[in-house]
Amino acid sequence: MDAHLTVVDHPLIKHKLTLMRRKTASTQKFRSLLREVAHLLTYEITRDLELTTEEIETPLETMQAPVLAGKKLCFVSILRAGNGLLEGMVELMPSARVGHIGMYRDPDTLEAVEYYCKMPDDIGGRPVIVVDPMLATGNSAIASIEHLKKIGATNLRFLCLLASPEGVSAMKQAHPDVPVWTAALDERLDEHGYIRPGLGDAGDRMYGTK
């Protein structure tokens, strides 16, 4: 690990990820585990959020209590698979703003093609966490972050379930200012751009499609 990449090393995450990797895991089980892992990853990626204090009354007395400072976070889901992580993240931080960006990977070139984008108007003033379960070639993440920078986002992080060494390297080269958090760094990409050993196509497994 370096300043650009954080592999969240936690026994619960490792265990749940193993359950997700199993090809026998049902759609319902996969989706449920993804939400659970999203909770744990969100806990880690938000560890250094700034705090301030406000005066509150407990049942016993008045005190200065810690609360999050500044504007609320914005989670940006790369469609469609990003929504699986997003659901768990919003459960943990229900006041966060949410954006969506649609990307699909051209099967011949493996390049990312954008087809949809909807963001909060004031995204430039918010910390932004971009989410997609897989950082494979890195093309979708790179293109999404490039678009977000163009519309004013400056405080960006990327969160994924699995990453490949190739995807991490591509992200670091394209966006060295955007740190990456992941549950696991897998071995490699295959000739079709899939992470190995991986867990298959996250979107298909989440929604029961092929």
Contact status, residue 8 vs residue 41, Cβ threshold 8 Å = yes
For residue 163, what are the β-bridge partners? 135, 185
Q: List Cβ<8 Å contacts ≥24 apart for 184-193.
A: 184/7, 184/14, 184/17, 185/5, 185/7, 186/162, 188/164, 189/136, 189/137, 189/164, 193/105, 193/110, 193/136, 193/137
Task: Count the helix, strand and coil residues of the chain and give each as a percent rounded to the nearest 5.
Answer: 35, 30, 35
Which residue, 166, 208, 156, is CA-closest to 189?
166
Contact status, residue 44 vs residue 6, Cβ threshold 8 Å = yes
Q: Write out the H or E segment, with its range, that includes residue 75.
A: strand 74-79
Helix (H, G, I), strand (E, B) or coil at 73: coil
Active-site positions? Answer: 105, 109, 201, 204
Helix (H, G, I), strand (E, B) or coil at 112: strand
